[in-house]
Structure 1
Amino acid sequence: MKHPLSLTWELDSIFAGGSSSSEFNHFLNGLEKDLGNLRQEVKNAAVPSDAESTRSLDGIIELLQSCSGRLILAAEFAVCLGAQNQQDKGAVRLSGKIAGLSAQLQGIRSEFDNVLRQAGNEVWEQWMARPEIAPLSFVLSESRDLAREKMSPELEGLALELAVDGYHGWSEHYETIVSSIEIPFEDKMLSVGQAFNKLDDPDPKVREVMFRKWEEAWGGAADFCADTLNHLAGFRLKLYKGRGWEEVLKDPLSINRMSKETLNVMWNVINKSKPALVSYLERKAKLLGMESLHWVDVDAPVGKSTGKIPYDQAAADIVTQFRKFSPKMAEFAEHAFDSHWIEAEDRPGKRPGGFCVSFPERKESRIFMTYSGTPSSVSTLAHELGHAYHSYLLDDQPVFNQNYAMNVAETASTFAEVIVADAQVKAAENAEEKLALLEAKIQNSVAFFMNIHARFLFETRFYEKRKEGLVNAEELSALMEEAQKEAFCGVLSGYHPHFWASKLHFYATEVPFYNFPYTVGYMFSTGLYRLALQEGSTFADKYDDLLRDTGVMTLEDLVAKHLGADLTQADFWQGAADLILADIAEFLKMTENFAS
């Protein structure tokens, strides 16, 4: 890698000029024109009556994929602009225009799906067997089946158009709320992203002060956030009712291409594993000199900090650990660093959190985060590189087949984290370093088994309550704290009532229930890592093959094909949990004398 590494990304290779880019404006105008042509072609399309007549739809499918790929490029570019500078009004304007184009495309796709659902079964089977179409058969069949469960194309199209200023508009309103929040700390005003990084500071006094200010800030915005959350949920519930969907989880499970049976089996395994995590949290409290942990102490490092990890060192360590698993993955990570794909600078005005976006049209990705030099920041960096590697493996696939679900997306990212974390533990030079690294690994288990579970419980109960009417801020905080107490088995001394307001994921419109897929991905990746330990260097190719199939299979079929396992049974999930339980057992053994 080239040193020193840049802490800021480069976007001009995508479109030069930022939100004022004439190149980007020309691109959007071309996309808008093609969408108009595509709409007319779909309106004129006839339902195929025989195998030969299906060929008349080939051009529509090709143009659909082209428009879809370009819309992804446009949308993700606008996301990057808004994330790097929340005061960029031009980015907000572009996002609004792109949302309108997205609604157009979804409406067109809905009309085309109506053509698909009217095709007879015999004609359909012949069509899907054609060599030109066969690679897309899974996605097209999925669209056809789902279209049969939705409203008429006219109503679906109207809902999509109304969603621009309604559903998606409320999500954008939340971004406006977040961008206006500033939190005072040590004579400075911090953005939400900067303040969030202080919540896992090694100094307990810093954490305590920042958490109090954090709660106060979100409490001040709670009524605005409650309005936003209620209207987002209300839109979804009305849409589901129009489609005749009674189960709130039907949509997120369908999007994640998995069954409720699989989800329930996974949660059951996790719940049986929680007593070990409770023992870990109780031991951690003793090591930190506390009677019990508060919410803000859960991610606190055990022992004294050894100082900040320089960004260049973090990058080098990640590449080194990737190479031990897969030279191909390591070479890709080096390319990402050298090509300035990563925005990591700690500065005011950035949005909080981290993400990875892919640009299929350009075969590139971009990673966004605020690097703080903590082990958590290193994990985030590895996590987002895992996402980028996943997209890279699908670069040569048709656009339709690159649309993989969130749960397998989080599998690739979390697997990258596990590679780095486990290698670091094994390479530790002394017991103190090993304990710190092992503890960081277990913190991830707490996040996915307890924190994410709390989000899932909260959102499930909130939607049931929202069916009866609006839920005010006080009720939302009560629901949140109740879910946290249950998910953490009551082991903490204090919780985060306004978490529902501060967490962006509750306000995302791309994926409903933006929570359980994280835990599925974590458990899936841990199960994969268990197999990697057993099979050795040959597993890297198997892993790549599995990721390449993530856009064309259900989760259950994916695992059955590549791993020969049944996700509706507990065995695979328990195997993953056993690795985590082994880490906890080792931690407890290493700290026996310290805690006495």
Structure 2
Amino acid sequence: MRFSRPMPVFDATPSTGEAADFGDLPEWNLDDLYTSEDAPELTRDMAWLETACADFAAAYEGKLADLDATGMLACVHAYEAIDLIAGRIMSFAGLRYYQITTDSDRAKFMSDTQEKVTVFTTPLVFYSLELNRLEDEALANMFAENADLKRYKPIFDRQRAMKPHQLSDELEKFLHDQSTVGAAAWNRLFDETIAGLQFTIDGEDMNLEAVLNLLTDQDRAKREVANFELARVFEENIKIFARVHNTLAKEKEIDDRWRKMPSPQTARHLSNHVEPEVVEALRNAVVAAYPKLSHRYYALKAKWLGLETMQTWDRNAPLPKKDEKTVDWQEAKDTVMEAYAGFDPRMADIAAPFFSEGWIDAAVKPGKAPGAFAHPTVTNVHPYVMLNYLGKPRDVMTLAHELGHGVHQVLAAEQGELLSSTPLTLAETASVFGEMLTFQAMLAKATTKEERKVLLAGKVEDMINTVVRQIAFYDFECKLHAARAQGELTPEDINALWMSVQAESLGPIFEFTPGYATFWAYVPHFVHSPFYVYAYAFGDGLVNALYAVYAEGGEDFQEKYFDMLKAGGSKHHSELLAPFGLDASDPKFWDKGLSMISGMIDELEAMED
């Protein structure tokens, strides 16, 4: 169900500056969900949800096997209506919380709301269990008989993929009830700990977002100070972060063992509707490409910075001659909207209300969740985008990224509540494509060699962060979960696992000071969505291949692209890519995407001649 899905928090690279410098930054208007936590509409919907769940169970529990096609369609529609209201309620509670995670009233409201929704929906646990007990032939006959029901076949197929991993009805109900004091509680502890971290630099108190910003500062001394202050505070809190990771990994291991999952990654692959061998091909292609991508680029960057050896605080350093002027909000908006309109005016039309209707929350504020995300809410409302906008070119790319998600979510909403949700592997398509459109538009306007170099280097770094860094994150998670299965991990154990993938992925040009070993602690994906991270690399590789088709003048590309986004979760990735002549199961597919990054590094190297 949608309300149980965590909101994604993307690994957007922060920037530095003061919110007042960037113009009138928009804030969310959540009234399209509910006007307040005591709004009569919210009270009404909560009461409706409790009754509807009980009525659904009374009408259908133990009876799914007796339904004909018409009856099954009515059942699905009833379930979808419940999903819609539950998703609306939890979207409102969650978005309010992420605006100020340190507000105890908002945190209590979200927690209380989650507990109520969990209790109300517990009677629905039977639904997926009984669906999985239906005979294949019986379902096939229903789909043949009723075209409207057949439209939901992808939902049935995904649910039945979990059939071998299904527990007893009683155990499934217990796990559903217990969820609010399990992973959800540890997620909340992590969020509140991260939001409450305080750092001190030159006598000034800062939050995590502000200190991470300094890692992109032109002044190397400031970057170094920020690095060690991050390490100091992470070390002070490392036992909490280690406890969170130990507990969540162990809980997952228990759940996986009971469900007979063959690996810790299996559940993620199933939810992403992607075959393990496809992910393995992606992972292997990226790791094999480390020397020609990250190793080669960072060696080149070291020359630009005049360094024989890079430190971790140099990884996201700006180029020495880079113009440090900030980008105000209006300029950022115009840049992205022009790029979107240049691809297809319909894309800009869909994006426009995000700016004018309070669908974006852009400013950095005390207690606000770090990073950025686009949350689809429910299909009869609209998505909301969260940013922490601080005026650097990377923030423009973050806007392009999250707005791409928003456009995708608007288009996919046509599928309805159950079919709109896109697997994570394909959820990154529109966002990364939006970034690529914006980058190419900016590159086309470059008038000097130096300007082109800065843009190319920035894009290469973003793609390395999206592909190389995220696959390194994925390898870290694989090692973490494998090690935790053997016993409790000390903070030092986790540090060692982190460093084993960092050295491999970043390359020999880097030295690693001891404090960097704790930097796993602040990455939210490891906590909220285990093994999520490969979706970024999947999306980047897919988009690079897609963009190559577009650049080659693929016939009716825009129409095919919009059709792909409109499909939401109604089709498998193989069906969505087929019109473009692409196949993600072919290892050469990933090489094509990686070659685009390598080609940009080739151009940067040629500029040195």
Counterpart AA for 1:88: D
Deviation of residue 37 (structure 1)? 2.0
Match of 2:261 in 1: 245
Please give the root-mean-square deviation of Cα atoms over the aligned residues, in Å: 2.0
1:512 maps to 2:530: yes
d(CA) in 2 for partners of 1:207 and 1:23?
Answer: 49
Asked if structure 2 preserves the Cα contact closer than 8 Å seen for 1:445 and 1:580, the reply is yes
Counting only pairs closer than 5 Å after superposition, residues 182-581 of structure 1 correspond to structure 2 as 182-277=198-293, 278-302=295-319, 303-494=321-512, 496-508=516-528, 511-535=529-553, 538-560=556-578, 562-581=579-598
Shift of 1:148: 3.9
Whole-Å separation in 2 of the counterparts to 1:109 and 1:293? 55
Is 2:30 aligned against 1:11? Answer: yes
How many angstroms does 1:336 deviate by? Answer: 1.1
The AA in structure 1 aligned to 2:268 is P
Are residues 128 and 262 of structure 1, via their aligned partners in 2, closer, same or farther at CA, if it must alter by over 3 Å? same
Does structure 2 conserve the Cα–Cα contact (< 8 Å) formed by 1:190 and 1:348? no
Say which of 174, 180, 185 aligns to 1:158: 174
Aligned residue identity for 1:196: L
For residues 42-121 of structure 1, the aligned pairs below 5 Å read 42-48=60-66, 53-101=68-116, 103-104=118-119, 107-121=122-136
Partner Cα separation in structure 2 for residue 68 and residue 148 of structure 1: 24
Identity %, equivalent residues = 23
Does the 8 Å CA contact 1:407/1:517 hold for their aligned counterparts?
yes
Q: Hey, what's the Cα distance between the residues in 2 that align with 1:22 and 1:182?
A: 38
Return closer, same or farther for 1:194/1:23 CA change in 2, 3 Å cut-off.
Answer: farther
Displacement of 1:155 in angstroms is 1.1
Q: Which moved more, 1:197-206 or 1:62-71?
A: 197-206
Equivalent residue for 1:32, pick from 50, 60, 66: 50
1:109 offset after TM fit, Å? 4.8
Shift of 1:5: 4.9
Deviation of 1:102 after TM superposition, in Å, equals: 5.1
SS of structure 1 residue aligned to 2:68 = helix
Determine if contact 2:412/2:568 at 8 Å carries over to the other structure. Answer: no
Q: Give 1:20 shift.
A: 4.9
Matches within 5 A, 1:109-188: 109-129=124-144, 130-188=146-204
Look up the SS of the partner of 2:418 in the other structure. Answer: helix
Higher mean alpha-carbon deviation, 278-287 vs 36-45, is at 36-45
Deviation (angstroms), 1:361: 4.3
Aligned residue identity for 2:219: D
Paired position in structure 1 for 2:3: none
The one-letter code sitting in structure 2 at the alignment partner of 1:208 is E
* Contact kept? 2:158, 2:273, Cα under 8 Å: no
Q: TM-score, normalised by structure 2?
A: 0.91
- CA 1:37/1:90 → structure 2, altered by over 3 Å: closer, same or farther? farther
Q: Is the 8 A contact 1:286 1:292 kept in 2?
A: no
CA shift at 1:108, angstroms? 4.6
Higher RCO by CA contacts (8 Å cutoff, separation 6 or greater) = 2
- Render the CA deviation track for 1:272-297: whole Å, top value 9, x for unaligned: 33222212111111111211222222
Q: CA deviation at 1:576?
A: 1.4
- What letter corresponds to residue 129 of structure 2 in structure 1? N
1:179 Cα deviation (Å)? 2.5
Taking the aligned partners of 1:38 and 1:297, their CA distance within structure 2 comes to 57
- Which piece of structure 1 moves more, 5-14 or 119-128? 5-14
**Normalising by structure 1, what TM-score?**
0.93
Unaligned ranges ≥5, structure 1: none
Q: Secondary structure at the match of 1:565?
A: coil
User: Partner residue of 2:13?
Assistant: none
Shift of 1:577: 1.6
Change (3 A) 1:566 1:160: same
Change in CA separation of 1:276 and 1:121 when aligned onto 2, cut-off 3 Å:
closer
Secondary structure at the aligned position of 1:399 is classed as coil
User: Aligned residue for 1:588?
Assistant: 605
Matching residue's letter, 1:316? D
For residues 25 and 216 of structure 1, the distance between their equivalents in structure 2, rounded to whole angstroms, comes to 46
